Amino acid sequence: MTARVLDGRAVARQVYDQIGKAVSDRISRGASRPRLATVLIGDDPASAMYVSLKQRNARGVGIESEDHRLPSSATTEELLALVEALNRDEAVSAILIQQPAPKQIDMRQVVLALDPVKDVDGFHPINAGLVALGLPGGVEPCTPAGIVLLLERSGIGIEGTNAVVVGRSNLVGKPTALLLLKRNATVTVCHTRTKDLAAHTRTADILVSAAGRANLISKEMVKPGSAVVDVSTNWVEGRQMGDLGPGVDAVAGWLTPNPGGVGPMTRAMLIKNTYEAEVRRRG
């Protein structure tokens, strides 16, 4: 079997088209234009590139963006002051703080200071709590929401499947498990203390790997015909790869390319969340 592609770039384009139309409908009926404020601390070139890509994606669908920069020596208090000003700014729909921030910044304090309505990444405990409880109104974090939408738009039924998530981080693993559970999958979450990882992964109709370990998932660990989502970004000899070892594409039924799978979906969900933040704020 050669796996079919879970094409994150194609589904991301659908999301941009849908949000672009929704924004222009808003504008044509005289409603407010969404606006994304990005915050970059320091001068890491990769982070600067990610921020400018996100701004470009926003502009592409008619969402305004504004760029805030702090030096790499910035303190938690300086970042808190900026976040509080952006919370108060009526023109700002959503706030993105590019991570990782420099080590001296206490991101837990910063996330708590965000207005939950403007928390485009869904990191604030109010949003995480609403998502965990399966209640409406919470902001779903971008990567997990992107994974689930990619599966759904690719026609993969989630309900009733055995889903295995490798990784339990607050950023990816845990919220992905919750979103799959909400869609009635039977979900197993694996981590470094899991005994016999392969015994779990082999039962997975849907396998999401977010361990950040190149070659962790060998072809023997994959159920034939399953859908495999390779979230991780590992750099091996200057090349991006995920967690999958050679030959998984010959066993899986569906597979995300890496790059070109989850990454584009994550960026598209940021734009969707920005639009939805404005709708939540102003109707």
168 interacts with ligand NAP by CB under 6 A? yes
Determine whether 240 is an active site residue.
no
Query: In angstroms, what is the minimal distance from the CB of 133 to ligand NAP?
Result: 22
Residue 180 or 216 having the CB closest to ligand NAP: 216
119, 121, 230, 243: the active-site residue:
121
Query: Which residue do the tokens 């390319």 mark?
Result: 257
Span near ligand NAP by CB under 6 A; candidates 105-113, 132-140, 178-186, 262-270: 262-270
Choosing from 65, 226, 232, 256, the residue that interacts with ligand NAP (CB under 6 A) is: 232
The reply to whether 192 sits near ligand NAP by the rule CB under 6 A is yes
Min separation Cβ 190 and ligand NAP, Å: 5
Q: Tell me the one-letter amino acid at 217.
A: I
One of 101, 263, 270, 275 touching ligand NAP (CB under 6 A) = 263
255 part of the interface to ligand NAP, by CB under 6 A: no
Q: Which of 18, 89, 98, 249 is catalytic?
A: 98
Cα 247 → chain centroid: 27
Among 62, 212, 245, 260, binds ligand NAP (CB under 6 A): 212
Nearest distance, CB of residue 42 and ligand NAP, angstroms: 18
Concerning whether 196 is annotated as a catalytic residue, the answer is no
The interface region with ligand NAP, picked from 17-25, 112-120, 207-215, 218-226 by CB under 6 A, is: 207-215
- Rounded-to-integer distance, Cα 239 and Cα 126, Å: 37
Segment contacting ligand NAP (CB under 6 A): 43-51, 76-84, 163-171, 218-226? 163-171
**Contact pattern from residue 97 through residue 136 relative to ligand NAP, giving x for each residue in contact according to CB under 6 A and a dash for the rest:** ----------------------------------------
Binding ligand NAP (rule: CB under 6 A), the pick from 190, 206, 217, 244 is 190
- Please tell me the distance from the alpha carbon of residue 158 to that of residue 257, in angstroms, as a whole number: 20
Give the pair of three-digit tokens for residue 60.
Answer: 């592409």
Among 150, 92, 84, 151, residue whose Cα is nearest residue 120 = 92
Packing angle of the helix pair 262-282, 45-60 (nearest 10 deg): 60
Residue 71 neighbours by CB under 8 Å, 6+ apart: 41, 42
Active site residue 55: no
Contacts of 219 (CB under 8 A, 6+ apart): 245, 246, 247, 248, 250, 251
| Alpha carbons 249 and 269: distance in angstroms, whole number | 26
Q: How far is CA 271 from CA 13, 18, 189, in A?
A: 11, 11, 28
Q: How far is CA 118 from the centre of its chain?
A: 16
217 binds ligand NAP (CB under 6 A): no
What is the C-alpha to C-alpha distance for residues 14 and 9, in angstroms, rounded to an integer?
A: 9
DSSP 122-177: --SHHHHHHHHHT-TTPPPPHHHHHHHHHHHHTT---TT-EEEEE---TTTHHHHH
- Catalytic positions are 54, 98, 121
Site for ligand NAP, rule CB under 6 A: 143, 166-169, 171-173, 190-194, 197, 210-213, 216, 231-234, 262-263, 266
